[in-house]
Amino acid sequence: MSSPADIPHAPDEESAVEREKRESNERDVGLMLRVKEGDIPAFEKLVEIHQGPVIGTVAKMLGGASDAEDIAQQVFIRVWKSASRYEPTAKFTTWLFTITRNLVFNETRRRQRKPTVSADEREEDSQWTTEDQDTASPDQDALNRELEEAIDRAIAELPEKQRMAIILRRYEEMPYEDISKVLSISIPALKSLLFRARGQLKESLQAYLDQ
């Protein structure tokens, strides 16, 4: 009779989160392969799924929402034009956000100066915050909004690679491996980048952290 120690252990089961991410990527890759064949409804479905995260990332990269939809539209135009060369060698979102990175970096360099964000743009951009404010009191709601705006301003002051890394990590919850591919740097270099970025953010937000 075998003892418990003799019974082989089953491999670790895939977590619900990991399974959801895998299934989402399989869905996206399947849609993109259909787009590669000229399937317009598949392309429209991809836009529907991913336009929110892309617009949100662009808005935070540019410091406001004024041009975010235009840049996001360019991202998906690039997706359509690149479809014939698409190969599923990486996660679809990694490929998508690499395109987003290229267009956003081009735009920030074209501006050649830090954009000035109006109060209206900041209010519009607040839709991309991660706080659930539905049940917050008016005072707490105001404090949450003030803090989120301060965070957005602090992120906007980061160098572009640090800014993109922080946004993808904080708002898109992207794993290190994927962010490193989007930014074309090693994982150790990414961790160093994030360490410097978080240090600068902590310094910029020290007044709020002391409250």
pLDDT of residue 137: 65
pLDDT of residue 211: 59
Q: How many CB atoms lie under 10 A from the CB of residue 29?
A: 16
pTM for this one? 0.76
pLDDT of residue 119: 42
Tens of pLDDT, residues 84-110: 999 999 999 999 999 999 999 998 888
DSSP 11: P
Residue 20, C-beta contacts closer than 8 angstroms, at least 6 positions apart: none
Residue 121, C-beta contacts closer than 8 angstroms, at least 6 positions apart: 64, 65, 66
pLDDT of residue 12: 56
Residues of the chain with pLDDT under 70: 1-13, 112-139, 209-211
Q: Which domains does the chain have, with CATH numbers?
A: 15-126+137-209 (1.10.1740.10)
